Copies of this chain bind each other. A is one copy, B any other.
Amino acid sequence: MVEFIMKIYDISMSIHRQMPVYKGREHKRPIITNDSNFSNSTVYESRIEMNLHTGTHIDSPLHMIENGSNMDFLNLKDLIRNCKVLDFKRIEDKITAKDLQTKDIAPGDFVLLKTRNSFSDILETDFIYLDASGAIYLSNIGIEGVGIDALGIERDQAGHETHKTLMKADIIILEGLRLADVDEGTYFLFAAPLKIAGVEAAPVRALLLDKEV
């Protein structure tokens, strides 16, 4: 079916109690508990409680837009497709329209923004983000999706303008990626989220596939 020998890049965060969460907010830390084990049962079973924006996840418009569409309306084909990893790891604060102009971005693209978030301990604090000018630039091109190695695609912008600009343009937002091991280039993205009905976001095991070199 898929004939080439694949290389698989796991670009997802590991989910556990001490993982980084958005701005270090305690209610975003997952709680993993034991339902049964071999001291009280014949089976070992665990349980998880988590905010749906924990770790690697996809946002739908309902997250930021009242009566926006929820995850049920995403098309799997838009999440299982080619994508472009763009390297912005030298950027110190935020990705702007001017930064994006240096890259080859075309209508219909799904772009993943690789920043120093993938290398530094800044995920809970002053993480690199896509600013409002960058979101407008990408929506004007007409991309279909954008991912970033931050737990939010923006921070500290009044009115969440990056999210809203992207959502109004029906651009899929994929957050919480880990891109340290992935060079700039084209890959096959696999980002089918957990199938939770009627919600505004869902966790995903995001992967990139490439031909084995």
Contact = CB atoms under 8 A, between A and B. Distances in A.
Nearest to A64: B43
A142 interface: no
A44 B8 contact: no
A196 B35 contact: no
Q: Which of the four size classes fits the interface of chain A?
A: 35 or more
A158 B197 CA distance: 35
Given A45-B201, A63-B43, A190 B187 contact: no
Interface in A142-161: 159-160
Nearest to A80: B8
Given A194-B15, A194-B205, A200-B46, A51 B77 contact: no
Interface string A47-67: 111111101100000111010
Contacts of A205: 192-195, 204-205
A2 to B, nearest CB: 5
A82 B197 CA distance: 28
Interface of A: 1-2, 6, 8, 10, 12-16, 27, 30, 32, 35, 38, 42-53, 55-56, 62-64, 66, 76-77, 80, 82, 159-160, 186-188, 190, 192-201, 203-205, 207, 209-211
23 contacts: A1-B187, A1-B188, A2-B209, A6-B80, A8-B80, A12-B195, A15-B197, A16-B196, A16-B198, A35-B51, A42-B64, A42-B159, A42-B160, A43-B160, A44-B64, A45-B201, A46-B200, A48-B49, A55-B195, A56-B195, A80-B190, A194-B194, A204-B205
